[in-house]
Structure 1
């Protein structure tokens, strides 16, 4: 979660900046530029942030040294495979160096660098009489980064050539091809290769240039923009529903902590179309859900292209771009994308909530922590959740509770009807005793009472 947590805020900064710029108020241009540039610095350096954050999170002691080595590994790989370093072989290679390696700075390389650095850091405990532990980690990281660069030097052009072939193949398939493209686009996000695929359809790589023709008004009305329009229902509605479903499926002990992340991710996606913060938070935890998300994206793009609901974008499919693009000559029934968006909101919410609950899928806020104590010498988070439910039931239900607070060792609960209070069940769940007064009921839990109170707050009593 560490690298992902910063991205929603960056997307919001960019969105607010673009909104201020389009307001037409000259005295706000400077502030708009600051917000845009600040957000863009974070978003554009997403791969590097992943390299640092993944290495830090996966090190066995959350080490700053591991984070630094993640950065080192990333810099070695991206430097060795930069266009300038590879281009001297251009005459002997069968691919376009600038296009194949021009996007080597991507999220996949960032995550891979973090993994290599974390693995190298864990090797520091291997004893040797020749090198100090910290220096040994540096050596391991450098060696792994160089070996990885050699492998990528061979594999990366093959992947690029394959994507070009796929783009050429589905170019003439019309709306179906647009849907296939969108499906593959989401599937390639974890590898950072979606930018390569996007360039084929959005820019003038094989003659499509969907974004350029849309904004220039030089395309075919009803066709130009079909590789873009179907993203609006997903990014403005589907991803928001996804965030809502995941939040509601969080363990009750995690809801308070996860709420800011889900809210900011949903707002960022709706306003700016930046979905990576939420997508990267669950794509590796629950690949099944992510594949379903990719499939729904493909269906949405196919549907919009088939029905000729067209609106392009310049940055991504968020509300800000929609306002700017929906009035252009190439736009066709852009308002219908909101109708389609409402449909996909319902589909996303129902499917995600159903699958998470039915198959007990791991999503942010539902990570398995049964082996981790909620606090030292305390109770597991799931047990606290069950304890809170029992307390509410023993007090006659949530509707019977007027107020609740805690002191050092006790819960103080004010009830509408004290006759509905049943201590027998509560005692079986860990309570040491209780004291009943005219004003309230005090349940004794000891040192765990603060943890229990934190869980009860999530029930909004």
Structure 2
């Protein structure tokens, strides 16, 4: 696992223990005198904050284990007690806070993944398998305690000094934190940064002598100086981003506003109520990076101003209206938290005006303004039912290149975190048509698909689908041959003909939008037509070079002399047949003439075993030309009937 992959996975593992904070905040808030005045409820919530490091140990260990194992969670707890008690025996000043829980959780999860299936000699067999995991974790954490007992004090002093420096920087420090926090959102690494600020920096001792670290912990423990890393997020999440959503809605052409209006309204309400902003941010993060940079700067400014005005507010989960109401009268909340609402209204106007002006000034491709036809088309299955969720999960697996390209499935609050064999095989266009806000390809093996609040459910469904058996790619091999989603070609009957294609197989012409494959039907792979074959020989549709024949022999790519890239894909999901039913007649790299045989098919076998034998013939780089003119309809003859012409610009 590379460094980026490690921190990606760590950020996801931190989500489970963080998820308990809203419950703790609710219990603590409703138990206070100004609401229900029930002390035992308040104490119940306070107990979670007081034992947050242990909760992190259990949650991180469970999330880090390959199957969210209870044995790993127990190992995390055992490791935490061993590490913390042994360290303070060496040096009583040591207090690692939640870092102790994170470290022991990682150890517990890693030990489970490595040794949960260990076989011991017969006389020790009772301690083998999963029972070995807490034992080994305790041993490793004892070794870590011996090391940290001497190594950690200077590190602790350095963290304390760094935290004091950031706090002493005041408004500037919080502003920088807010700016970097937003910049890290695309990578998912913001959770690692948040953990340091919200659970480690700063120290507060309550009347009972309990010590709390981090902005969130200290705020809910009653520290009136906490909140500098939280307060300024409220105006942005509750008001600023909804203002951006309104700007994007009004910037869209009137004809497209109904298409994007419902989507923008739903993500804006989500941001306002809950503070979950990623579904909205990913709508413009990659379509208009300039807007996202502006958003990051404005977030930093908001935190800067909130700290400058000495506003102390906090949240248990995120800076939405729900958290704002719950924290309003908490002891640690300053008397001027109402100013955040005023700031919010101002930031709503600022976001609306700036986004509106920048979108129009630079003609940015925000939702509804993209060049391609039907730029925002959500075709998500009815995921409110189990069957619909499994169908949606299957479609996502196909969109990322099939189960053979899928190496690991994970998720956080709003995104699927996937490890793949080759990110080039992932169809961004199909993912977006399934409902994704965007696809982030961090490197060749690591991608994130932004799907909103259903990420965890989709992730679980994908695991179930993969466990049942292989899922073929949605023509992912052909998608990888196409560089990007393609704009709808312009009418080009008057332009010069670059090349005329003949039918590569005898059969019946089928419109491309009737192909039972999302990538081809949406023209994400390219434009052209499809054929339902009746003949067994597949020929070259034009003269050129065979640049690629896929290993399973079900498809090939041909480049003509004028640079047109033609993909001939025989059948749908035929890649799953592992080459059965196809015989290759030429090798890659050879030059062929129009009508020269390329493949031989066992059509009876393929009709019986393939999902569909409708075969797309598309130009994958049609955006390099002005368009194409369809010449054929009805029945065609391989190597003889003109299929379509590609026109020059």
User: Normalising to structure 1: TM-score of the pair?
Assistant: 0.46
Which of the two has greater helix per residue?
1
Which protein has greater RCO, CA pairs closer than 8 Å, 6+ apart? 1
- Hey, which of these two has a bigger chunk of strand by percent? 2
